[in-house]
Structure 1
Amino acid sequence: MFTEERLDAITRALQEKGKVRVKELSEQFHVTEDCIRKDLKALENAGKLKRTYGGAILSQDYPLERDVVDRKNYHVDKKRVIARKAFELIKEGETVFLDISTTNMELAKLLASQSKRVVAVSNMIDILQILAKNPRITAIGTGGTMYQGVNGFMGIAAIEVIRQYSFDRVFIGSCGIDMVDGTITTLGAEDGLTKKAAIQNGRHKYVVMEREKFYFNESYKFAHLDDVSGIVTDEYPDKSIVDALESAGVRLI
């Protein structure tokens, strides 16, 4: 099979399945894995896919480019699964940080509906409004520069407030993980630096994200797997990723 034919076949497989694996393609086309990686790089340069750890996905398969406020109703069931797991980690009397994340909004709803007495700091207005409904929760906003697309605060002023606290638990949203170098990513520096400040001031740090995001990574790397205590997700990813996370000492929840 000529290279062009193989590229067309890989593209069709992506359109049908949404993702492909290097090992499987190597076996299917009877070529080396290095050859397949070169094919995937060529297709990525052409804008047809996004390479991931061990394979590739359709570049437009997950709506990472949309504003947070537009993602409130996306994958709600999965976010609620993650929120329930995160809620069980929080102990009575703890101080927690919930960053800008639609999954953290679901966690805030659980906290507001239960009886745990906690101090909750957030830089997202939606989360603060939810938490304020429960008198057992002390809800504290960071303030700072307001970003309409996320309905929250990011940047230097927000970071200065975050640095004044010592959090028992920090829950951070992410746009994906680059499994090649173990970095946790988001869309921009303002959001990334704000998340980084919270992680640095937390005792137990968790990334909250859907399974799909193990196959994505975005432009700004704000943390490494070594920086977090665990990842709270709705469903475990492929075994190769689970093994890589275990090797990095990251707990999957």
Structure 2
Amino acid sequence: MGKMFAPERRKLIMDMLNERQRITIKDLSTEINVSEATLRTDLTKLEEDGLLKRTHGGAMLTDHLDSEISFSTREGKNKDEKTAIAKKAIEFISNGQCIMLDASSTALELARILADKNIKLTVVTSGIKTALELNEHPDITVILLGGIVKRGSHSLEGSLGINILNQIHIDLMFTSANGFSLDSGLTDFSVYEVELKKAMVNASNKVIALLDHTKINKNSIASFASIDQIDSIITDGEITEDFAQKLKDVNITITQVNPEND
């Protein structure tokens, strides 16, 4: 295997972890032909980003990335912040639009609010729980993208649902992410889910990121939306003037919410 840059190595490490749940530095060194010292640096960085947990001689997926419990864990985390962000997101939606919701817990909060609104919409989603939340609304047509059901996550992944996106005009996509940075845009830890989210982003006229404060200035393993594909960010995070100006320079509008005043 040829020489790889750090992001390529770390993506490969996460691919292997997602497949095996745990890996050793010795095995990694043999399989990808990289020194153990370099791999220790990679694992330390990935642990700092919350993507894995270092163990003696290797690493394992952290509990919140374990597919058996990941969604229930994420759904309960920063609940007030996600609700406040979702309530603000409603203001971006107009009657008669076609919107896209990913399978994130923040998008699910938005769906729950929409379920009680007197509004006519078409909603395209990769989230099973999101689709069920809106299914009984008399004026909301729900389109659930096809794909492989990700165990424990209530989401669909893979490329099986991509073709239908070529037949639908999407006004707005609302998406969350594991991380957002100016260098990498929106990133996630599931390389399989990322492929579907890339297609969802490409099919949408505008992309609005719903990001609680834990996601800002954080990178995950794979990017699904670059800076120039993001139109707006809604967050409860603290935004410095410098960071806000950098977002403005790349034509991203930012809206801040305060959960305490919600």
Decide: shared fold, TM above 0.5.
yes
Structure 2: distance between partners of 1:57 and 1:113:
37
Q: Which residue of 2 aligns with 1:204?
A: 206
- Letter of the 2:85 counterpart: I
Q: Which residue of 2 aligns with 1:65?
A: 65
Q: State whether residues 236 and 242 of structure 1, in contact with CA within 8 Å, keep that contact through their aligned partners in structure 2.
A: no
Q: Which residue of 1 aligns with 2:110?
A: 107
1:49–1:115 distance in 2 versus 1, CA, 3 Å: same
Q: Which residue of 2 aligns with 1:45?
A: 41
Structure 2 unaligned blocks of 5 or more: 1-37, 53-61, 256-262
Q: Which residue of 2 aligns with 1:183?
A: 185
- Letter of the 2:118 counterpart: S
My pick for the range that moved more, 74-83 or 198-207, is 198-207
**Residue number among 213, 216, 239 corresponding to 1:214 in the alignment:** 216
Q: Which residue of 1 aligns with 2:145?
A: 142
**Residue number among 121, 125, 130 corresponding to 1:127 in the alignment:** 130
Structure 1 unaligned blocks of 5 or more: 1-41
My pick for the range that moved more, 198-207 or 238-247, is 238-247
- Can you list the C-alpha shifts for 1:107-153, whole angstroms capped at 9, x where unaligned? 00110011011011111110011101211111111122111132121
Q: State whether residues 176 and 186 of structure 1, in contact with CA within 8 Å, keep that contact through their aligned partners in structure 2.
A: yes
TM-superposed CA distance for 1:49, in Å, is: 6.2
Structure 1: distance between partners of 2:42 and 2:125:
40
TM-superposed CA distance for 1:243, in Å, is: 2.4
1:64–1:251 distance in 2 versus 1, CA, 3 Å: farther
Structure 1 residue 96 and structure 2 residue 99: aligned? Answer: yes
**Aligned ranges 1:3-18 → 2 under 5 Å:** none
Structure 1: distance between partners of 2:127 and 2:43:
33
- Letter of the 2:229 counterpart: D
**Aligned ranges 1:166-177 → 2 under 5 Å:** 166-177=169-180
1:243–1:136 distance in 2 versus 1, CA, 3 Å: same
With the length of structure 2 as denominator, give the TM-score of the two structures.
0.71
**Seq. identity, %:** 24
Q: State whether residues 123 and 152 of structure 1, in contact with CA within 8 Å, keep that contact through their aligned partners in structure 2.
A: yes
SS in 1 for 2:143: strand
- Can you list the C-alpha shifts for 1:11-68, whole angstroms capped at 9, x where unaligned? xxxxxxxxxxxxxxxxxxxxxxxxxxxxxxx9x93866679xxxx88888x9863522
Q: State whether residues 144 and 154 of structure 1, in contact with CA within 8 Å, keep that contact through their aligned partners in structure 2.
A: yes
> How many pairs does the alignment contain?
206
Q: State whether residues 206 and 228 of structure 1, in contact with CA within 8 Å, keep that contact through their aligned partners in structure 2.
A: yes
**Residue number among 202, 221, 224 corresponding to 2:226 in the alignment:** 224
- Letter of the 2:111 counterpart: A
State the superposition RMSD in angstroms: 2.6
- Can you list the C-alpha shifts for 1:203-234, whole angstroms capped at 9, x where unaligned? 12111111221131100011211111111212
SS in 2 for 1:221: strand
- Letter of the 2:209 counterpart: V
- Letter of the 1:65 counterpart: L
Structure 2: distance between partners of 1:59 and 1:220:
12
